[in-house]
Amino acid sequence: MQIETHCHTWESSPCGKVKAEKMVAMYRDKGYGMVVVTDHYASFQWDAPHLVRKDWEKRAAFYLKGYRAAKQAGDRLGVKIGLGMELQFDGFAPYEFLIYGVSEEFIEQNPYLNKYTPGEFKKICDENGFAMYQAHPYRFDRQPVEPVCYHGVEVVNGNPRHNSHNGRAVAFAAEKGLSVISGSDFHQPEDCAIGGIIGPDDIKDSRDLAGFLRSAPLPELIVTYEEDAQ
């Protein structure tokens, strides 16, 4: 099964340009069996004008809006939809981490996860069976967060509007013996189905995906373009 691991929606990510229903249909047409919605989770979300002075219940509902719309469309179109996050911790911008295995209840009952450090949140992931990957670790000519406090890195990021230096991420993962993933980093129509992984057909949700990733650190990657290794 082709699985998209990195995808944003118009409903919940300020940079998302495609509504969840249309996004799911696009991936269905490309033959993907599952899409994980990883909308941005960061302090800048809660500072948006429509969320200022709102309580966590309303903020969590906004954050989950894109996933819920995608799930509704996926149930109708025959595409599995997983819930994930692209989490940015306070004081660690612009670094971001892709989280797999979370549930709606976890997000609703654990507010402001952005206030943790990466190391603190890695412990939460291990306690709950989540998987944590640093997204595009070399984008903006930065270096990966060290010491390593995550399960793996996104070694292929397909976003065509950024140079994520994927070749450097591949070398870093090999050096550290880390798990790897590929993701399209979908924001706009041209981003659809650029990346992802191949996983078992019996994966049904984000928790299953997290378990698969933790047990299979080198999954087959979907790579549909070439990039300068530097």
How far apart are alpha carbons 15 and 36 in whole angstroms? 17
Per-residue pLDDT of the chain (230 residues; tens, 9 = 90+): 999 999 999 999 999 999 999 999 999 999 999 999 999 999 999 988 999 999 999 999 999 999 999 999 999 999 999 999 999 999 999 999 999 999 999 999 999 999 999 999 999 999 999 999 999 999 988 999 999 999 999 999 999 999 999 999 999 999 999 999 999 999 999 999 999 999 999 999 999 999 999 999 899 999 986 655 44
The pair of structure tokens assigned to 168 is: 């450097």
Q: Are strands 152-157 and 179-183 parallel, antiparallel or unpaired?
A: parallel
Give the pLDDT score at 226.
Answer: 60
Give the pLDDT score at 224.
Answer: 86
The pTM score is: 0.96
**Predicted confidence (pLDDT) per residue in 119-158, tens digit:** 999 999 999 999 999 999 999 889 999 999 999 999 999 9
The pair of structure tokens assigned to 27 is: 């991936």
How far apart are alpha carbons 73 and 174 in whole angstroms? 38
Match 């989280």 to its residue by tokens. 99
Give the pLDDT score at 229.
Answer: 44
Q: Which residues contact 73 (CB under 8 A, 6 or more apart)?
A: 20, 21, 24, 25, 79, 81
Give the pLDDT score at 227.
Answer: 58
What is the 3-class SS of 98-113, one letter each residue?
Answer: EEECCCHHHHHHCCCH
